[in-house]
Amino acid sequence: MLFDAHEDLAWNMLTFGRDYTRSAHETRRLEAESGSHAPKVNGNTLLGYPDYLRGQVGIVFGTLFAAPLRRKSGKWDTPVYADADEAHRIYRQELGLYHRLTEEHPDKFRLLRTRGDLNAHIAEWKQKPADAAKPVGLVVLMEGAEGVRSPDELPSWWEDGLRIIGLAWAGTRFCGGTGEPGPLTDEGRALLRGMADVGFLLDISHMDPEAAREAVETYAGDVIASHANPAALLPESNSNRFLPDDVIDALAARDGVIGIVPYNRFLDATWKPGDPRLPLEKVVEHIDYICQRTGSSRHVAIGSDFDGGFGVEMVPEGIDTVADLQKLAPLLEARGYTNSDIAAIFAHNWLRKLKTVLK
């Protein structure tokens, strides 16, 4: 079984009308026939229910995401916000899409809100044959907290199924973010206090390192980085998107988990579109770096960020759909990782964190 801690499903459903009950290949065919702009601006999809089954992807962290208006990518990029009210409206709309998906297709997708939901879901996946149809579990993650207009709203978000919150994508009123550095603000500290009171899992992905350091040190709840690669393996990059060693160390000290992103530009900062796809071994290098840095396989996992601004053209060779993440297993084994290590990286590390947040 494999868990993927970051997929921008609702954003794709809202922006491009993608139907994730279909296979990735079926979606590609339909988009090519219809002349959809989705493959051009977001790449050819890597995701679909049949692909989850083939890859034994049993749990996905599905995001709520929208870009601020100042980072709008083009006319096609319609779910953008100018203020917190607009962000709130878009994120609520996306959350509604997850509810609709799971209500209309309960045989394919289910929301996981409680420990009981999680335990029953894991039991079903263990009991049924690998090739048997079963639902994919969805845990909802807010990427960039601008949709939370006030900490007072946090209980209602929890009630409606949100379980993980990342304060930033770009910079927010809470902290600096990717391409827009800055510390944690007083509003950010207040939000963290409110999140801890309710019980949310904090995702530091996209937070500027200065803000992330304070958040990891002070947040009273559990902390992860759902999709973030180590900065040390990207020396040519001057982006604040990647995790410095001291932040990796701090996360490990808090028993955090880091999801590695199998996106070529996050594996080799010199890679550019049009270059040959990188070898899949590059993903293993990033996984191994975290393991060597932290001294165990306990603090690393997968956070693909699939369909999040890139498609099959921009991921390593050998990955055609999400099902192919299973190809990492023999590469890890060749590096000396045990079956127990691989199970931790594929599923058990994220499972440990889910058991802390799903009550």
Please, are residues 263 and 314 in contact by the beta-carbon 8 Å criterion? yes
| E strand or H helix at 271 | none
What percent helix, strand, coil does the chain show, rounded to 5? Answer: 45, 15, 40
- Sketch the domain layout of the chain as residue ranges: 2-140+217-357
Please, are residues 50 and 133 in contact by the beta-carbon 8 Å criterion? no
Summarize the confidence of residues 313-331 as an average pLDDT.
Answer: 99
Give the architecture-level CATH label for domain 2-140+217-357: Alpha-Beta Barrel (3.20)
Query: How far is the C-alpha of 19 from the C-alpha of 258, rounded, in Å?
Result: 28
* Residue 357, SS3 per DSSP: helix
Query: How far is the C-alpha of 64 from the C-alpha of 45, rounded, in Å?
Result: 18
Please, are residues 303 and 5 in contact by the beta-carbon 8 Å criterion? yes
Please, are residues 188 and 148 in contact by the beta-carbon 8 Å criterion? no
Percent of the chain scoring above 70 in pLDDT: 100
pLDDT 10s digits, 200-254: 999 999 999 999 999 999 999 999 999 999 999 999 999 999 999 999 999 999 9
Which amino acid makes up residue 183?
A: P
Query: How far is the C-alpha of 45 from the C-alpha of 60, rounded, in Å?
Result: 16
98: nearest Cα among 65, 64, 75, 74: 64
Residue 178, both tokens = 């990717």
pLDDT 10s digits, 168-206: 999 999 999 999 999 999 999 999 999 999 999 999 999
